Structure 1
Amino acid sequence: MLSLTGLPLQIIASVVAIVVFAATMWLWPRFGGRSWKSWLGRIGAFLATQLAVLVAMGLIANGYFGFYSSWSDLLGTNGKPGTVVDHQPSAAGALSVTGEKNMYSAQGSARERSGLIQEIAVKGVTSGLSSDAYVYLPPQYFQPDYAQKRFPMALVLAGYPGSAEKLISLMQYPASALTAIEQQKLPPTVLVMMRPTLSGNRDTECMDIPGGPQVETFFTSDLPKALATTYRLGSDPASRAVIGNSTGGYCALKFALRKPDAYRSAISLSGYYTAPIDETTGDLFGGNGRLKQENDLVWRLKNTPAAPVALLLATSYDENNYDGTQAMVGAFKAPTKLSTITLDTGGHNFHTWTREIPPALEWLGKQLTVPQSA
């Protein structure tokens, strides 16, 4: 039987309607008399035309809007009640690879020598947020000796408004990571490079905003789960780190301090320590003073139980975050570990950050736990 919503049935009904209409127009002069037969002929032709047109229009509308999905649905012959089935959120299908490009180095462009950069799309199962990202897979990921190995992962966040592409082109994260891996200062590590901005152009400061976008949930819950469905990554939080500059640096520290079960190491390059409120952020806290305190990192170090995480803060004597960095140093307590990089001079710019990335990656190499084999 033809499908009720299928195109073939719609075509047949449309052809029938056209034929009936044409036949009515052809035969109408024959029904011009005043006898009862002429009256019945006109009424029959009129009803047949109307019925054919209505059936064709109804089938086309049903196919478009989906009012009835099948003949049994239309005729009401299947009256079996539905069954409730409970489900748990799944990260399957939450990540798709949308593009690839070679990584060029002194060793050439072969992926088993220099690695590979993939562009991905991530859909947050819990947060409902989505974002594009770039993933750098180190050369070892493709080498036979590492075929059964899992890898540590570092989430790399740009500032606001920022650009994930700049993390590759200007800040040279893949190239710096490859150099550190070759020098055995960093274990082979997968980099996931992203913007911290997920909700239009709003600066959410990576927060779960009351009644608004749940950005922290995306980065600390949705993203690790989605990545695990596609890549050979470790599941231990000690094998995951987050790095960022400016806004990304604030987000990195906050993820580690608030969600140590997501990331155990965090690096902040010129990051600040409390979320600003301005025209780009809007109301982040919904008037909740306690929530504002909990997102103040110096306040957290002083007033909440110490998290078992390792933090690296990069600043310079010229930076606006220098005093805040000293406050962080004075506030932390064990088991939190805190280290700093302080340049003699350096502003809030890419040149400063590229000077800090190599020593930061070397520090990270001492913090990451290398996962067990797959």
Structure 2
Amino acid sequence: MELTSATLLGLIAVAAVLASAGTLWLWPRLARNSPWQVLGRLGLLTTAQLLALAVAGLLLNNAYGFYTSWGDLLQRDTGRLALGPAGAGRAGPPAGDTLVRPAGDESLAGVTDLPQGRPEEVGRVDSIRVSGKQSGLSDQMFIYLPPEYFNPKYARERFPVLLTLAGYPGTPLHLLTELHTPQQVWDLQRTGRMAPTVVVMARPTVAAPRDTECVDVPGGPATETWFAKDLPTALRSAYRVSRSAQSWAVLGYSTGGSCALRLALRDPGSYGSAAALHAEYQVGSDWSTGGDLFGGNQQLAQGYDLAWRLHNLPVPRTSLLIVSTRTEDDYPATQQFLAAAAPVGQAHPEFSVDSLFLPDGGHSFDTWRRELPASLEWISDHLAPAPDREPRA
């Protein structure tokens, strides 16, 4: 039974109610002060409280996605796995000791508004677990394969990739149930507004519950390495996707948007473009990050200052889209970043930054849903067709 399943939550909730009722019923029978009756009262209270805490914990975890499986919670299945062969005709990840494996996820079965039909007609969404060789990290995510992926006519074609990132503390499932990402992608692709693209739906919180802001933490999780190196390597080992950075893009909202900007500016050899919805432009330092992620290393922290990088380091070959609203709290910071980036784009044609602002809207899924279609169209316009093909058998 999966950690995030509604069945588990229901069973624990029923047990909590029964334990509470049992405590009320048995309490008069344990009213005396003999050792056994005192232990009985303590046992009843402890059981009822532990079950209530379990219900609260499951509800919190299902809402924010700190852990996606029992293995994730118990820190199993985090080993470094052998790199699998890049199979030419596969329509999904192979089984066995590879970097990408199928992941059982009951929550995917509960998403009822996915495109309906055969994979060769509407594409397919799979739940997978990806493991990294360099970072040693592992996480569950979803992947959307477009209809063309299953069409024999495209059997030798590699596809561009869009990595989409949820916020913190968020779960990849939010990209399906709240943003309806596969549904939006399918609608744009079938109407010719988006090229056939493999879409990966992940979360930035790969070292749950800590928010590592997609940076390589000194002495801690190498989250940037995970997204910039491990994830592309793993996906290329299992799917027919492009090896060219210009055919890879990243899009995210909130913390995921901040990660998207950092990956595009710091790792242009991995991602050639990025769209950031309601991002922040400085690495945070609070309870969620566990304090200063850089341990007081100012030189390392400066390397993650996006505006500083644009004016002090070689300008990367990348395209950025900044998306927000004029009533959002981050609007002044967004304007400051755009003001810093504009002259760089004018002096360096290999770098460009565009912006999109709604007149109103907050830091919410309702706003991000309104912004997503235009952001996906922009991504498709800046996502180069894959220049490589599978070799002939």
TM-score under structure 1 length normalisation: 0.74
Q: Which residue of 2 aligns with 1:30?
A: none
The reply on whether 1:319 has 2:311 as its aligned counterpart is no
Cα separation, 1, equivalents of 2:217 and 2:242: 29
- The 5 Å alignment of 1:22-61 reads none
Shift of 1:240: 0.3
Give every structure 1 segment of 4 or more consecutive aligned residues whose post-TM-superposition deviation is greater than 4 Å. 99-107
C-alpha separation in 2, matches of 1:105 and 1:167:
13
Does residue 362 of the first structure (1) align with residue 377 of the second (2)?
yes
Give 1:151-230 correspondences, 5 Å limit: 151-230=159-238
Identity of aligned residues (%): 41
Which whole-Å CA distance do the structure 1 matches of 2:114 and 2:305 have between them? 44
Q: Are positions 1:337 and 2:349 aligned together?
A: no
Q: Tell me how far 1:145 sits from its aligned partner.
A: 1.8
Task: Flag the 1:107–1:191 CA change in 2: closer, same or farther, 3 A.
Answer: closer
Per the alignment, residue 132 of structure 1 pairs with 140
One-letter code of the match for 1:286?
A: G
**CA distance 1:219–1:209, shift in 2 (3 Å):** same
Q: Deviations over 1:47-78 (max 9, x none)?
A: xxxxxxxxxxxxxxxxxxxxxxxxxxxxxxxx
2:113 paired with 1:91: no
- After superposition, the Cα gap between the structure-2 partners of 1:277 and 1:132, relative to the gap in structure 1 and judged at 3 Å, is same
Pairs aligned (count): 287
Taking structure 1 as reference, are residues 95 and 107 closer, same or farther at Cα in structure 2, changes over 3 Å only?
closer
The one-character-per-residue Cα deviations of 1:298-326 (angstroms, maximum 9, x if unpaired) are: 22223222111000010111112211221
Task: State the distance in 2 between where 1:238 and 1:267 align.
Answer: 14
Judging changes above 3 Å, is the alpha-carbon distance between structure 1 residues 90 and 260 closer, same or farther for their aligned structure 2 residues?
farther
- In structure 1, the partner of 2:308 is 299
Q: Distance in 1 between matches of 2:135 and 2:195?
A: 31
Amino acid at match of 1:345: D
- Mapped to 2, the partners of 1:106 and 1:112 lie a distance apart of 14
Quick one: distance in 2 between partners of 1:253 and 1:240? 14
Deviation at 1:327, TM superposition (A): 1.6
Displacement of 1:373 in angstroms is 2.8
Q: Is the 1:104–1:114 contact (alpha carbons within 8 Å) kept by the matching residues of 2? A: no
CA distance in 1, matches of 2:114, 2:201: 22
Give the residue type in structure 1 aligned to 2:372: I
CA distance in structure 1 between the aligned counterparts of 2:230 and 2:245, rounded to whole angstroms: 14
Using a 3 Å threshold, how does the CA distance of structure 1 residues 136 and 107 change in structure 2: closer, same or farther?
A: closer
- Residue 253 of structure 1 and its aligned partner are, at CA, apart by 0.5
Q: Which amino acid aligns with 1:340?
A: S
Aligned pair 1:275/2:283, yes or no?
Answer: yes
Q: CA deviation at 1:163?
A: 1.1
The 1-side partners of 2:102 and 2:115 are apart by 25
List runs of 5+ in structure 1 lacking aligned partners.
1-88
> Secondary structure, in 3 states, of the residue corresponding to 2:382?
coil
Return the letter of the residue paired with 2:379: L
Which one of the candidate residues 134, 147, 151 is aligned to 2:155? 147
- Residue-by-residue CA offset, 1:91-137 (whole Å, 9 max, x unaligned): 33111122486897797421111111111111110101110010011
SS in 1 for 2:334: helix
User: Which position in structure 2 is the counterpart of 1:25?
Assistant: none
Counterpart of 2:22 in structure 1 is none
Structure 1 range deviating more: 302-311 or 121-130: 302-311
In 2, Cα distance between equivalents of 1:106 and 1:207: 33
The answer for the alignment partner of 2:41 in structure 1 is none
Distance (Å, rounded) in 2 between the aligned partners of 1:124 and 1:340:
33
Query: Which amino acid in 1 is paired with 2:324?
Result: T
CA distance in 1, matches of 2:193, 2:310: 29
Aligned counterparts of 1:116 and 1:251: Cα–Cα separation in 2: 26
How far apart in 1 are the matches of 2:230 and 2:130?
Answer: 9
CA RMSD of aligned residues (A): 1.9
Give structure 2 stretches of 5+ with no counterpart.
1-80, 85-97
| 3-state SS of paired residue (1:229) | helix
Kept in 1: contact 2:246–2:383 (CA 8 A): yes
